Amino acid sequence: MEIKVKKVECIKGVVNAPPSKSFSHRAFLIASLAEGISHIKFPLYSEDTCATLHACQALGTDIKTDVDKCRIKGTSGSFNTPEDVLDVKNSGTTLRLMGSAASLASQYTILTGDESLRTRPMQELINSLKKLGVDIISSRDNGRAPIIIKGGLEGGETSIPGDISSQFISSILISAPYASKPVNLEITGKFISRPYVNMTIDVMKEFGVQVDYNGINRFRVEPQMYRATEYVVEGDYSSASYLIAAAASLDSDLTVRNLKLKSKQGDKQILDIVKDMGCQIRQDDNQVYIKGHGDLHGVDVNLEDTPDLLPTVAALGAIAEGTTHIYGAEHARLKETDRIHACAEELSNLGVRVKENRDGLTVKGGAEGGVVDSHNDHRMVMALYLIGLKVGGVIIRNPSVYDVSFPNFIEIMENLTKIK
């Protein structure tokens, strides 16, 4: 399957940002661990978040879904042992979060996923959970899925490197309230993607659990219980980045609603990036206004805390004047694909002069049409689509994976750009 993206001149209108994938994952799991019935309003139902929902159901959670609301009857922290292996498809977030949560079931849980997911690193989380009394192994002893977890989270002292994935940290924190004794977690080395951990702590607080954090590298969670609540999922800056970037690169007058001004999401950095590239941005409490003229210039961007923005910024660099230098994002190599290498490869296929660096890319504008591949990565599809809107003639192979995070992406783009 493939799609051909046509060149357009403008993007105009008003659109709601998709619900946050990160907040939906966290709310689904925490509500499943809570005591009582929670209502998650305006959640994202995508391939990734549904993997988390299905895993929670397999662990004994009573879940009823509606278009704008998800009703979750929590388990009070006592998961059932699944009847079968849990296949979390391509959702790295589900794999990481459930790696700890499965220790709250009484017997053995096996977590696996597709071929891509089975390349994602898990050893550091395994090592950290073992220090908390969890019996957990990689079935092939290679630090990757399938992962086998035996029920039993004792608590105590543990540590984990902060430069691989913030999802490891979030995983331990979310399950920590149900350990037999307090959990003390130390982050060693560089602490990347910190905003995602701040998001986790915020959701935990909404469900009544307190995390003690020294603001640097130590967390402490006392034994507690999540309490059911009504939780509203905010809009997703990660997914909205493609709307914002498209508006920045074209003649535009676009309003994106449901984006909180004071959001803890690190990916709201996209607003500063497109401003620096020459686009006009205005924001109020719950929406962003983008006025673009289509002429952007290259910038230097540190994506240490926001690696998911790498494909978006690389695409902007490919259609901007001058050179864009992206750095600080070596951990983007550990996503659905090695995004640094994949971006370098596909931008080259579009005639862009691009240099692959250890922790990022150097991109010189000048993209043109051509054939590219998604690498089965939702963010690659949407980023390459942006280039197609600007230059035309971009054919994307295997594009359907955008369903992972933004199920109606193509429909929204076609409506806003009036593509026929």
Pick the CATH number of 21-232 from 3.65.10.10, 3.30.360.10, 3.40.640.10, 3.10.129.10: 3.65.10.10
Residue 5 scores a pLDDT above 70: yes
Residues 316-361: tens digit of each pLDDT = 999 999 999 999 999 999 888 999 999 999 999 999 999 999 999 9
Residue 112 scores a pLDDT above 80: yes
Residue 218 in contact with residue 169, Cβ under 8 Å? no
Q: 356: which strand partners?
A: 361
Percent of the chain whose predicted confidence (pLDDT) is above 70: 100
Q: If you average pLDDT over every residue of the chain, what do you get?
A: 96
* CATH (residue range 2-18+236-417): 3.65.10.10
Query: Rg of the Cα trace of the chain?
Result: 21
Q: 289: which strand partners?
A: 255, 282
Question: What does the pLDDT average to over 360-379?
Answer: 96
- Quote the Cα angle for 345-348-354, to 5°: 95
Confidence of residue 151 (pLDDT cuts 50, 70, 90): confident
pLDDT at res. 334: 87
Residues 72-110: tens digit of each pLDDT = 999 999 999 999 999 999 999 999 999 999 999 989 999
Question: What does the pLDDT average to over 199-223?
Answer: 97
Confidence of residue 1 (pLDDT cuts 50, 70, 90): confident
Residues 25-76: tens digit of each pLDDT = 999 999 999 999 999 999 999 999 999 999 999 999 999 999 999 999 999 9
pLDDT at res. 420: 42
For residues 393 and 205, give the distance between their C-alpha atoms in angstroms, rounded to a whole number.
48
Half-sphere exposure of 63 (CA within 13 A, CB side): 23
Stretch(es) of the chain classified as CATH 3.65.10.10: 2-18+236-417, 21-232
* List 308, 359, 377, 403, catalytic entry: 308
For residues 361 and 307, give the distance between their C-alpha atoms in angstroms, rounded to a whole number.
12
The answer to whether residue 308 is catalytic is yes
pLDDT at res. 200: 98
